[in-house]
């Protein structure tokens, strides 16, 4: 259902009756903060003209093989994203969801495919977030030579904007001194180290079990999760189906929902603010 007054009121009523909030978020959550929309090859190329000139798609450049084939190009792409995410401030919708979730009996949890760390920057507890595709704020060896994952807060990558190539020195693995890469699950990735995500997944599972054991009323607010890589959408729907939770899907284009759930044809920021205006 498009974002009618009736569907917005239904969503508000569900929030008022809930005592646990699950926030599931895809790339559309960050667009309202000013982050680029990589939807489709043309959208990606508008954000990265130098890669457009090479004729490389997002799924092709977001592949771990580049850290071996051409690490200067790989780090130009990921270094630029790393600095972009660091400079971006989360929009007001993040804070609004944090305020609401923090007041509920069973609190909140975040499940996101975004690798940008915007939820942590907005104040969400790292213990209450699962980043299913990893995070650009953590590093690993590109080989990998070991199981180490370390923070990227001291990593800074200089980029030659003219040829869109990273300038030496490139980030290196402290163990083998070879090339390091972000701890992100990329396309065709068999070398991603998942231990950090495994711990997050355990926290998420424990939180869901706690709510189920206490017969808590769970609401799921999904923001900006597309259909091209539907990990977030599938997870939202699966949890809603097995727990009896209400799903509120906020998406300007792909807002269709299973029967009995609520779909709002709105962008993330406007949708969040519409359903949370006033006392919640």
Name the helix (H) or strand (E) containing 120.
Answer: helix 118-121
Instruction: Give yes or no for a cis peptide into 127 (omega within 30° of 0).
Output: no
What six digits make up the tokens of 2? 């498009």
Query: pLDDT truncated to tens, each residue of the chain (280 aa)?
Result: 456 789 999 999 999 999 999 999 999 999 999 998 776 666 777 888 888 888 999 899 999 999 999 999 999 999 999 999 999 999 999 999 999 999 999 999 999 999 999 999 999 999 999 999 999 999 999 999 999 999 999 999 999 988 999 999 999 999 999 999 999 999 999 999 999 999 999 999 999 999 999 999 999 999 999 898 899 999 999 999 999 999 999 999 999 999 999 999 999 999 999 999 865 5
Strand ranges for 96-232 from DSSP E: 108-112, 129-131, 134-141, 150-151, 159-160, 165-166, 180-184, 218-223
Q: Would you call 263 helix, strand, or coil by DSSP?
A: strand
Query: Residue 266 has what DSSP assignment?
Result: S
Read off the DSSP letter of residue 170. P
- 3-state secondary structure string, 122-150? CCCCHHHEEECCEEEEEEEECCCCCCCCE
The pLDDT score that the predictor gives to residue 3 is 60
What pLDDT is stored for residue 228 in this prediction? Answer: 86
What are the residue ranges spanned by the domains of the chain? 5-276
- Residue entry with tokens 């390091």: 180
Predicted confidence at residue 1, as pLDDT, reads 43
Predicted confidence at residue 53, as pLDDT, reads 87
248 alpha-carbon distance from chain centroid:
17
C-alpha distances in Å from residue 244, one per residue of 25, 108, 241 = 20, 17, 6
Please tell me the total number of residues recorded for the chain in this structure. 280
Second-level CATH architecture of 5-276: 3-Layer(aba) Sandwich (3.40)
């Amino acid at each position: 259902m498009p974002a009618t007054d009736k569907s917005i009121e239904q969503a508000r009523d569900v929030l008022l009756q809930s005592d646990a909030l699950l926030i599931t978020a895809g790339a559309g959550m960050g667009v309202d903060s000013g982050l680029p929309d990589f939807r489709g090859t043309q959208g990606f190329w508008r954000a990265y003209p130098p890669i457009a000139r090479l004729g490389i798609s997002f799924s092709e450049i977001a592949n771990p093989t580049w850290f071996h084939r051409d690490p200067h190009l790989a780090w130009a792409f990921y270094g630029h994203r790393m600095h972009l995410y660091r400079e971006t401030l989360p929009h007001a919708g993040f804070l609004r969801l944090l305020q609401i979730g923090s007041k509920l009996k069973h609190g909140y949890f975040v499940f996101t495919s975004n690798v940008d760390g915007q939820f942590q920057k907005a104040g969400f507890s790292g213990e209450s977030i699962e980043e299913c595709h990893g995070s650009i704020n953590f590093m690993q060896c590109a080989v990998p030579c070991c199981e180490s994952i370390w923070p990227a807060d001291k990593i800074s990558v200089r980029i030659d904007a003219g040829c869109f190539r990273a300038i030496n020195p490139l980030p290196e693995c402290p163990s083998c001194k070879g090339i390091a890469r972000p701890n992100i699950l990329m396309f065709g990735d068999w070398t991603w180290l998942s231990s950090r995500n495994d711990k997050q997944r355990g926290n998420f599972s424990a939180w869901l079990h706690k709510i189920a054991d206490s017969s808590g009323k769970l609401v799921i607010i999904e923001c900006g999760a597309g259909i091209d890589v539907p990990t977030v959408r599938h997870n939202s729907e699966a949890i809603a189906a097995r727990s009896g939770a209400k799903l509120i899907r906020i998406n300007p284009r792909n807002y269709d929902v299973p029967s009995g759930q609520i779909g709002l044809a709105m962008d993330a920021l406007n949708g969040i603010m519409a359903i949370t205006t006033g006392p919640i």
